[in-house]
Amino acid sequence: MSVRRKNNEEKFCGDCCWFYGEDTYGYGICPFRFAELQECSQKCEVPLKYVSKKEMRHHMAVLLQYHRWLKDWITVKRICPDKIELEDAAVFAYEYMKVFSNL
């Protein structure tokens, strides 16, 4: 399974949620580019793994909405998130935990 991503935007390392450990000069690390420092203004060299921070926040919001729906489904009639969006968010959360637990 893979997360459905949009490929029509320019991808820069500093906009990606995988880019971490950024210092004051804009250099950080990408877990998919081992032992290499990346600059936040560099174009992504691994575009299949790119996930923007905006997309990550959307996945987090979908998971939070689903959690609230599970918690309050008897007392409050909330709308369950779309199943495709929920699946994408769950796959992303799994990939995120898998990558950062191995560092």
Whether 92 and 57 share a structural domain: yes
Tell me the average confidence (pLDDT) per consecutive run of 10 residues in the chain, 103 residues long: 56 84 86 81 81 89 87 70 88 88 70
Evaluate whether residue 36 is within a structural domain: yes
Any idea what DSSP says for residue 44? Answer: P
Whether 73 and 39 share a structural domain: no
The length of the chain in residues reads 103
Strands (E), 1-103: 27-29, 37-39
Max CA separation in the chain (angstroms): 51
Domain range spanning residue 37?
A: 11-50
Identify the pLDDT of residue 94. 92
Evaluate whether residue 2 is within a structural domain: no
Evaluate whether residue 37 is within a structural domain: yes
Q: How far apart are CA 42 and CA 86, in angstroms?
A: 31
Q: How far apart are CA 33 and CA 43, in angstroms?
A: 13
Count of domains for the chain: 2
Identify the pLDDT of residue 2. 47
Evaluate whether residue 6 is within a structural domain: no
Whether 95 and 68 share a structural domain: yes
Of the candidates 23, 13, 20, 22, which has an alpha carbon nearest to the alpha carbon of residue 46? Answer: 13
User: Domain holding 46: CATH number?
Assistant: 2.20.70.100
Q: How far apart are CA 22 and CA 37, in angstroms?
A: 10
Evaluate whether residue 5 is within a structural domain: no
Whether 24 and 68 share a structural domain: no
Whether 64 and 96 share a structural domain: yes
